[in-house]
């Protein structure tokens, strides 16, 4: 099955997996054209992989609304754009809270950097992506999308076992 892990944040990205094998990750501007392009590609590729399923990170907005309402609105619109267009294209979409995938995927990351500084969530995400997916220069959006996809691939594998 072809699986997409989607981080619709400001620096959004999408990762593609087949079963538990990582295929690619790509930065995506959260425009209607870019989102439709990714979803249409996935729908075309799905038959060769035995189906298609996507997971979209829910954007946590409570803190953001208070600090920066405009940013929170952009994040929510991005998530709803992915969700709406997946529905229009009849693609199964699962929503996941950040804490759900992060609690499983970020656990291997060390608590501090080599210099003793506390690792932020973004730093942990990039560290885990480098150590468990592929060595590359990850943006935090790309790392999150890849780890969301990795989490979802494991969930789907457990369902099919």
129: closest CA among 25, 4, 1? 25
Over residues 4-30, the mean pLDDT reads: 92
Residue 26 burial (CB count, 10 A): 13
Give, for 92, the enclosing helix (H) or strand (E): none
Q: Give the number of C-alpha atoms closer than 13 A to the C-alpha of residue 38, restricted to the C-beta side.
A: 29
- Predicted confidence at residue 12, as pLDDT, reads 87
For 24-47, write each residue's pLDDT tens digit: 999 998 889 999 999 999 999 999
Q: Which domains does the chain have, with CATH numbers?
A: 2-160 (3.30.420.10)
Determine the Cα–Cα distance for residues 86 and 99; give it in Å rounded to an integer.
Answer: 23
> Would the pLDDT of 61 be above 70?
no
pLDDT of residue 60: 62
- The closest of 101, 153, 109 to 131, measured between CA atoms, is 109
Distance of CA 90 to the CA centre of its chain: 19
d(CA 92, CA 159): 15
Answer whether 0.85 is exceeded by the pTM. yes
Partners of 16 in beta bridges: 4, 24
């Amino acid at each position: 099955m072809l699986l997409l892990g989607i981080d619709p944040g400001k620096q959004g990205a999408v990762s593609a997996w087949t079963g538990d094998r990582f295929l690619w990750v790509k930065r995506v501007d959260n425009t209607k054209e870019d989102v439709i392009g990714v979803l249409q590609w996935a729908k075309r590729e799905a038959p060769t992989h035995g189906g298609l399923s996507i997971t979209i990170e829910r954007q946590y907005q409570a803190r953001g609304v208070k600090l920066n309402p405009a940013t929170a609105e952009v994040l929510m619109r991005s998530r709803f754009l992915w969700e709406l267009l997946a529905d229009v294209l009849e693609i199964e979409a699962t929503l996941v809270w950040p804490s759900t995938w992060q609690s499983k995927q970020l656990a291997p990351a060390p608590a501090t950097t080599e210099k003793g500084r506390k690792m932020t969530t973004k730093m942990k995400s990039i560290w885990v992506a480098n150590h468990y997916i592929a060595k590359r220069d990850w943006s935090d959006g790309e790392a999150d999308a890849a780890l969301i996809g990795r989490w979802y691939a494991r969930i789907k594998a457990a369902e099919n076992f």
